[in-house]
Amino acid sequence: MADQKTIAFFPEAAFGPALNSVGIAQACRDLGYRAVFIADPGFTGVFDAYGFEEFHVNMSEPMPPEEMAKYWSDFINGHIPNFSKSPYDQIDNYVKDCWEAIVDTSVWAEKELPDILKRIGPDLICIDNVVLFPATKQYGVPWVRIISCSENEIPDPDIPPHLSGCGENDKACFEAYDARFKDVVRPIHERFNAFLAECGEQPYPLGEFFEASPYLNLLLYPEPVKFNRRTPLEPGRFRYLEGCVREEEAYQVPTFQANDDKPLIYVSYGSLGAGDTELLKRVIAAIAKMPYRALVNVGDYMESYDAGATPPNVHLASWYPQPSVIPQVDLVIHHGGNNSFTECLYFGKPAIIMPYVWDGHDNATRVQETGHGFRLHRYDWTDVELGQKIEACLTDPAMRERLAATKGHMQASGGTAAAAGLLDAVVKEHA
C-alpha cells in the first residue's frame, strides 16, 4: 500500500521485551500497519520468524554472529555466583556491570541508528528499553516508551525502587537500596550524561537513564497488581495494557510415563536463566519425587542433561511456545521475568517465583504481596518447602479466587489490541 504507515519497534536484546513487542506488532499489523523491528544482530531471525522485517544495529563492538548471539548469555552465566545474593548485595556486581553494558549499547547504537531510521522511514517509534537512544528521540516523529519490566521503572517515592525487591511498605528498604544504587552507578551515570551532552540532550538526574515519552507510555503491568503511587501517572499519557500476550503456535502436552493424570507444572527460568543448570537439575530431582508432571525449559543447554536419566514425570525441551503452554498447566515455577509474570496472571495460573536478577526480585515480591503466588529464594529451599508451596498454589481457595478475578479482568481488556489502538491514535494525531 502506497500510503501504508510504518511503526518501528526497538526492544532491548532480551526475549521478554522482544516478545512483548511482537504481540503489539501483531495487533498493529492487523490494523494495516507495516511493523518492523530494529534489533541487535544477536537477535537476527527472532522477528523474521513472526513475519516482520528486521533492521540490525550494532549495540556493542561488532563481532561474529555466533559470538553476538551468545553475548548476553555469557554475561549472565558469568554472574551465576551472584544469583544467591540479595538485590542490595547485587548492586556492586551484577547491577553495576549491567548498567555499564546498557550505557554502552546506547553509545554504540548512535553510530548507526540515525541512518537506519532514515532507511526505515517510520511514522512512529516504539522503544522498550531502560536507556535513552538519542537518535530515536531526535528523528522527528512521535516516540512511545514501552515498559515491559515492573511498573516501578517509572519511579515514585511511595513505591519500591526498581530492581530492589522491597516490599511495598518497607520504606527502610527503599531508602537503603536507593542510596546504595546511586552511589555505585554515579560514575556510569556521569559518563552517560556526558554522552547525552555530545548528542545535544539534557542531563538526567542521578539514577535515571531514560525519560517518559511526552506522547505515550505503555505499561505491560496489569492493574490488579499495580502500586499505590503518591503521584498517580497521568491517565492520558500512561496506559496500563493488562499484559500483551502474543499469538503462538499451538502446543500439545506430551504423554508422560508416570503421573500422566496428575497436576502439570511448567518450569522456566527464561532463555538466559537456563544457564543455571545446577538449579534446574535440583528442581527436576525434587519434582521427580512428587505426585506431579513437569514441562521444563532447559534453553540452549540440553547437552547438560542426561536424556536417559530424565524422570518419567518430567519432559525437557529447549523451547516452549509459552503463551500456548501456560493455559494448559496448573502452576508455573519461573524467574520473575515480566512476560512470565504477566502471562501467569493473564491465564489465571499461580506462580512460584525464584528470582535471580533485575525486576525478577520486584515481581517475586509482588506476586506474594498480592496473593497470586509465592516468592522462593533461588537456592535456599528444601524439597519439603517446595512441595508445600506447590500444594498451596494448587489448593488455596483464596488464591484461586483471586487469580480467576485477575484473569477475567486482564482477558477482558485485550492488551495487544488496546496497545495497537493507542499507537494508531498517536500516528493519526501527528500525521
Per-residue pLDDT reduced to its tens digit, 251-273: 999 999 999 999 999 999 987 78
Between CA 188 and CA 103 the distance in angstroms is 8
Q: Is residue 344 part of a domain?
A: yes
Is the per-residue pLDDT at 403 higher than 70?
A: yes
Is the domain of 418 the same as that of 405? no
Residues paired with residue 314 on neighbouring β-strands, in sequence order: 294
Is the domain of 44 the same as that of 193? yes
Closest CA to 123 of 245, 191, 31: 31
Q: Is residue 192 part of a domain?
A: yes
Is the domain of 146 the same as that of 29? yes
Instruction: Quote the number of domains for the chain.
Output: 2
Q: Is residue 348 part of a domain?
A: yes
Is the domain of 320 the same as that of 234? no
In this prediction, residue 1 carries a pLDDT of 47
In this prediction, residue 261 carries a pLDDT of 96
Domain range for 378 is: 264-411
Between CA 85 and CA 379 the distance in angstroms is 10
Q: Is residue 259 part of a domain?
A: no
CATH for 425: 3.40.50.2000
Residues 281-314 pLDDT 10s: 999 999 999 999 999 999 989 999 998 899 999 9
Is the domain of 65 the same as that of 182? yes
Is the domain of 336 the same as that of 388? yes
CB of 173 closer than 8 Å to CB of 166: yes
Is the domain of 233 the same as that of 311? no
Q: What is the pTM of this model?
A: 0.90
Between CA 244 and CA 159 the distance in angstroms is 23
What does each C-alpha distance from 396 to 40, 271, 352, 375, 390 come to in angstroms?
Answer: 43, 30, 14, 16, 10
DSSP letter, residue 91? I
Is the per-residue pLDDT at 38 higher than 70?
A: yes
Query: When comparing pLDDT for 132 and 73, which is higher?
Result: 132
296, HSE (Cβ side, Cα atoms, 13 Å)? 29
